[in-house]
Chain A
């Protein structure tokens, strides 16, 4: 699996949740993104129960050749969505690879909503 780093002392294994938290935190720093959307109804319920986490709207899959990250985002009204999405992709990929050293194969953006903030 792509999330194990082997060295002379043993191996380092990073759990999916860690990747998801980092990805969520990185995404939230991106300009134009005003929120993360729950992926499913079940997630929506979890959120209503007040267990809001950084991982909301983030799905991470581990593949042999790297991570595949799906982000469910809400963008601010009046921004160019394609550019905002691309910025989020770049930022999340860079941050994940920089912090964990694990290669990111794809970052998929699903724009779930547009929010009018003014």
Chain B
């Protein structure tokens, strides 16, 4: 293969392949975290950032090189998550600036673009820390340029530069002491390398199988499938209006508008009807609607200009909400695991956003969740310390009055929800529910993703870890003894009366039953209950009151 230049089509394919390869290695990258509990999310954050870039690039109707990279740059910026995501977005931004006016790119163009990415990324930090994704990017750009100067074709130069970047990655622990202590290479650097490796595979015609890249485990719903990514916008204009009149028939209006587009929504009464449709002929929609009554609050948006489809979904959700009667106060909870979702719903949560330790929902996800709750005021239970901030941000972005109770675990969320009184004011509920959250002790059993030292405990990869209120207290190789040890720790102080265990998705039913029986013998004074939680990563979540 002797390519000396790349066209938009090949470039797009290569970019996509980079993303696919990153998705494939997501869990591996997540495991390179420097803390021992499995809350590493560098891989997830980079995947989401790339996903946003690709979604935006897919929207370009007539793709030219410059337009694709510009769109990807905006997408990455808007979708950036976590530190590594922000750096990645800057690499893409600098890269795209160099290619803005190109129809196709040559080796030297690419070399300049890679260097441009590195230059921009290095500018946006006071003290660049070496031994990170920045170092890997710098090494790659330098070597790529060197090989192109030697007369290598683009794919060959890429391949050789990727190999050099890998060497640099392996040296990151020598540059950054925290990495050496943890015995890992830099996660962000690894992520970048996986993207570039995917690009190389694509240019050599080694197709990266898309089936393999669809995320396998975890609360996937928040992550759009690749099929959805490939989907083009079918209609250009999002058209909305309210029709007022007498004897309006929702069914008749729907029938009249249906042939004109998709995502049609017609809701309302015989006097007021709200219409939402995606169409290529907004004029025809208006003509049709004018025949039924008077038109109000007309809104026509070009969706290809919109940054995110989620806006339309929100409008849909809001329209749907407007059509039904609203409660005074509703509750939104963030929970992962089918069993836990059911439990929290049965306890009175109106809506649930899927998410937890490794898959933090975005602010947009929480905003959408709040809008879905059919109430004027909403109480949010984040149930994870990493989600509290996002929930608080989301609270500021909605029209509704929102209070976030800073619950850090599922047991806290549950306890808080029990104190919820639909007839009390928002402020009263906030006070009572916050207080209630602290009346419960939360225990969690998970596993160590690698060797480490913590709280004076020597932890081996694969060991079970017992955490009380987020701190590692126990470690060992036997799940049952860790669980009983943790329960003993949790019930030692305070006058604990009730313990509730939520069983994770990886635990076999008979093992759980056996454990429950033996715990009942060990703790005769304690009222023990066990439910299926179905949560990922945590074998057991324990609530003690």
Task: Produce 1/0 per residue, A8-42, CB < 8 A to B.
Answer: 00000000000000000000111111110000000
Interface size, chain B (Cβ < 8 Å)? 25
Q: Which of B81, B119, B129 makes the CB contact (< 8 A) with A83?
A: B81
Interface size, chain A (Cβ < 8 Å)? 20
Q: Which residues of B contact A78 (CB under 8 A)?
A: 77, 90, 93, 120, 124
Residues of chain A touching chain B, judged by Cβ–Cβ distance below 8 Å, are: 28-35, 76, 78-80, 82-84, 86-87, 89, 117-118
- A76 → chain B closest CB, angstroms: 3
Q: Which residues of B contact A33 (CB under 8 A)?
A: 125-126
Q: Which residues of B contact A30 (CB under 8 A)?
A: 83, 125
B80 interface hit (Cβ, 8 Å): yes
Q: Which of A76, A82, A84, A118 makes the CB contact (< 8 A) with B393?
A: A82
Top-9 shortest CB links A-B:
A76-B124, A117-B123, A80-B80, A28-B126, A87-B83, A31-B125, A32-B86, A83-B86, A83-B80
- B133 → chain A closest CB, angstroms: 9
Q: Which residues of A contact B515 (CB under 8 A)?
A: none
Complex Cα spacing A117 to B122, Å: 10
Q: Which of A80, A89, A117 makes the CB contact (< 8 A) with B89?
A: A80
A-side interface mostly: mixed
A31 to chain B: closest residue by CB: B125
Complex Cα spacing A72 to B77, Å: 23
B-side interface mostly: helix
Q: Check if B126 sits within 8 Å of A84, measured CB to CB.
A: no
A89-B389, A118-B120 known; A83+B125 contact, CB < 8 A: no
Q: Check if A31 sits within 8 Å of B86, measured CB to CB.
A: yes
Q: Which residues of B contact A87 (CB under 8 A)?
A: 82-83, 86
Can you list 14 A-B pairs, Cβ within 8 angstroms, ordered by A?
Answer: A28-B126, A28-B127, A29-B125, A34-B123, A34-B125, A78-B120, A79-B124, A80-B80, A82-B363, A84-B86, A89-B389, A117-B124, A118-B120, A118-B123
- A36 → chain B closest CB, angstroms: 9
Q: Which of B86, B120, B123, B389 makes the CB contact (< 8 A) with A80?
A: B86
A82-B363, A87-B83 known; A35+B126 contact, CB < 8 A: yes
